[in-house]
Structure 1
Amino acid sequence: MTVRKLESGEWLADFRPNGRGSRRYRKKFKAKAEAVRYEAYVRAKVTKQPEWMPPQKDSRSLAALIETWFKNHGANLKDGKSRYKKLLKLSNLASDPLASEITDKWFVEFRKKRLEAGASPSTVNHDLAYLKALFNELERTGDWDKGNPLRNIRKLKDEPTELTYLQSDDIKLLLNYLKGLRDQDCYLTTKICLSTGARWSEAETLRVEHIAQNHVAFYSTKNGKPRYIPIDRELYQEIRQHARKRRGRLFKDSYGVISEVLKECGIALPKGQRTHVFRHTFASHFMMNGGNILVLQKILDHSSLQMTMRYAHFAPEHLVEATTKNPVVNLERKEPSVVS
């Protein structure tokens, strides 16, 4: 269909500028030249102003968006590969929906199913954070122009996790058990975590050159900023002795070893705290031994003091005035009234 002559003698311009499925234009003219000019005019207008045409539906899937995000941004992040895998796992759990199907309502339903399957509020809050960040970055790079479909979704209220820490007897039992093993990698990794408050991954990926002058330099940190923590002379000598046999990385991966040893020692821990308990143990004992909360914040490299305040109650003097300023104790200290 294009310009053709009708039986009435008029000329009909009948066409679709963008092919089948696009808007159809039909108009009659007395002369063929007028009909031809009209067709050319409309085609030019549609080309210059595509908004005249109905917007095409985004046929990309969530997995396709994730691939685009990783290629243009995620690959350059320190934790890019880890986040990439988590996003693909989310996409798989959601049966890889089309981008156009992702809405507030879609996520609420997806979150409900996740919770029913046993996921915690903290886990689904992380799901939301990852997906929001995905769309924000795609929009910033020009790979998504429909706004963040999850911008109005709020996180669920998450009950604070109980912070478990090891008692002195448990620490002695664990270190003695580990020291008796033939392989000392797990022993030293554990001792470094307990002595510096380091995360397991930070201690496990230390290199020979990161140990110098009674200090440990952590570079594989959560926020990417290096952290320098002093250690006692005994631990420093143990690490240096171990380093004589190594080049590059100091320790092998030993997460599996510490998991088995904790079971062998009968140390039961809440889910998700198998190695993080060493960081909690350092912080708890640091405060119980009279450490300063601001110093602890720097050692743990917390972004806000509020995070570190979780350990404030371990300080010997924490809220101690509650025992001397309460109305009951003051009542008991008053002299009895004289009855006449």
Structure 2
Amino acid sequence: MLLKFALAEFKSDREYRNVSPRTLSSYFMTLNEFHEYAIKHEVLNLEDCTQSLVKSYLVYCGKEKKNNPTTVNSKLHTLKIFFNYFEKEMEIFTQKTNPTKRIGFAQEEVKIEVFTDAQIKQMLNYFQRLKYRDKTFHAYRGYFLIIFLLSSACRLGETVNLRWSDVNLRDQVITVTGKKRTASSLPMADKLKKEFLEYKLFVETNFAVMPEYVFTDREGKQITDNALKMLFKHLKEQMNFKNVRLSAHTFRHTAAHRMIMAGCDIGTVQKILRHSNVSMTLRYFALWGTALAEQNEKFNPLNNLDI
């Protein structure tokens, strides 16, 4: 089977399985890149894809494209899904001939970056100055976005897909749709409710018809993943932060960090961050163990024993 036909077959199968457009787009960013790499190495057929070809592609991503180990692992994960489909469903490969079966994931550096108080204030002050100077939609949206991300710990996809119908200001609950299209309810802090009310009023006065989505462009259309990334890229240029990535996920890490340092228990942190597996939550506690040590000292069973 020609590799280009295999890609079309895989796409049809994922669409049939109702994979989200965002996930499908992510798959094909890698698969199309791999396809181009295979052609350059004169590999046209799916059956001719070998373990050596896949490994050389991953090395190319790391050395030539400067992808970090996390990104390389993400690409390998996509390729495993792709080739496993043609092994299990189409029976083109066996466990022995599947080119990804024996390729392990690269070791990743465990580093979770967070913003300092000064950096958060610097970002808010930047948008606040713009807001008071010319009251532009861009400035107010950016200002509210930072507050929302810090308070909700939402992922990028959850943020761009948030509708006004998902925001219950009366009961102070936000419903977000996360990974695997799983809906979760998040409590809304009083301060966030106040900001939501003000931002909603601002949006209502700037659009003839209330937009469906909370975060939009100037025409009221849903903001895209890429547009939000570009917003962070522009903000990074203005802030000139050192040793910290300016992204939605860094806000998420920062929210987790603040909760843990304030003494929040692991179960609550897991629920707020919507981790399906507590092992990811434990990584945060392992990194920021000061708060954990303080809680252990406070609640340790030995404290009440006369020994």
TM-score per shorter chain, which class? 0.7 to 0.9
Structure 1 partner of 2:302: none
State the distance in 2 between where 1:306 and 1:259 align: 31
Task: Report SS of the residue matched to 1:223.
Answer: helix
From 272, 276, 284, the equivalent of 2:249 is 276
Structure 2 partner of 1:145: 92
Rate the CA distance shift 1:200–1:187 in 2: closer, same or farther, 3 A.
farther
| Paired residues of 1:114 and 1:124 also in contact (CA < 8 A) | yes
State the distance in 2 between where 1:110 and 1:255 align: 26
Within the alignment, does 1:176 sit opposite 2:125 as a pair?
Answer: yes
One-letter code aligned to 1:216: I
From 85, 103, 106, the equivalent of 1:157 is 106
Structure 1 partner of 2:46: 99
Task: Report SS of the residue matched to 1:81.
Answer: helix
Q: Pick the structure with more helix per residue.
A: 2
Structure 1 partner of 2:25: 81
| Paired residues of 2:153 and 2:273 also in contact (CA < 8 A) | yes
Within the alignment, does 1:257 sit opposite 2:201 as a pair?
Answer: no
| Paired residues of 1:193 and 1:278 also in contact (CA < 8 A) | yes
Deviation at 1:241, TM superposition (A): 3.3
Structure 1 partner of 2:55: 108
Rate the CA distance shift 1:106–1:86 in 2: closer, same or farther, 3 A.
closer
From 234, 239, 248, the equivalent of 2:212 is 248
CA deviations over 1:108-141 (Å, ceiling 9, x no partner): 3333333331333333322222122112223444
RMSD: 2.6
Task: Report SS of the residue matched to 2:180.
Answer: coil
Q: Percent identity?
A: 21
| Paired residues of 2:163 and 2:214 also in contact (CA < 8 A) | yes
Count the aligned residue pairs: 261
- Determine which structure has more spread, i.e. the larger CA radius of gyration: 1
| Paired residues of 1:198 and 1:279 also in contact (CA < 8 A) | yes
| Paired residues of 2:261 and 2:291 also in contact (CA < 8 A) | no
One-letter code aligned to 1:104: Q
Rate the CA distance shift 1:207–1:92 in 2: closer, same or farther, 3 A.
same
Normalised TM-score (structure 2):
0.76
Deviation at 1:207, TM superposition (A): 1.0
Higher relative contact order (CA 8 A, sep 6+): 2
| Paired residues of 1:175 and 1:187 also in contact (CA < 8 A) | yes
Structure 1 partner of 2:9: 68
One-letter code aligned to 2:34: L
| Paired residues of 2:76 and 2:105 also in contact (CA < 8 A) | no
1:184-263 correspondence runs (5 A): 184-212=140-168, 213-219=171-177, 221-244=178-201, 245=204, 246-252=210-216, 253=223, 254-263=228-237
| Paired residues of 2:186 and 2:272 also in contact (CA < 8 A) | yes
From 263, 266, 274, the equivalent of 1:290 is 263
Rate the CA distance shift 1:125–1:261 in 2: closer, same or farther, 3 A.
closer
Rate the CA distance shift 1:114–1:168 in 2: closer, same or farther, 3 A.
closer
| Paired residues of 1:291 and 1:315 also in contact (CA < 8 A) | no
Deviation at 1:311, TM superposition (A): 1.7
One-letter code aligned to 2:239: C
Rate the CA distance shift 1:168–1:103 in 2: closer, same or farther, 3 A.
same
Task: Report SS of the residue matched to 1:73.
Answer: helix
Rate the CA distance shift 1:317–1:141 in 2: closer, same or farther, 3 A.
closer
CA deviations over 1:130-184 (Å, ceiling 9, x no partner): 1221122234443x43325125323243232421111112212212222333222
State the distance in 2 between where 1:85 and 1:264 align: 29
Structure 1 partner of 2:219: none
| Paired residues of 1:74 and 1:81 also in contact (CA < 8 A) | no
One-letter code aligned to 1:154: I
CA deviations over 1:84-122 (Å, ceiling 9, x no partner): 333112211332642121122322333333333133333
| Paired residues of 2:173 and 2:187 also in contact (CA < 8 A) | yes
One-letter code aligned to 1:210: D
| Paired residues of 2:80 and 2:101 also in contact (CA < 8 A) | no
State the distance in 1 between where 2:239 and 2:68 align: 28
Rate the CA distance shift 1:132–1:250 in 2: closer, same or farther, 3 A.
same
Gaps of 5+ in 1: 1-59, 324-340
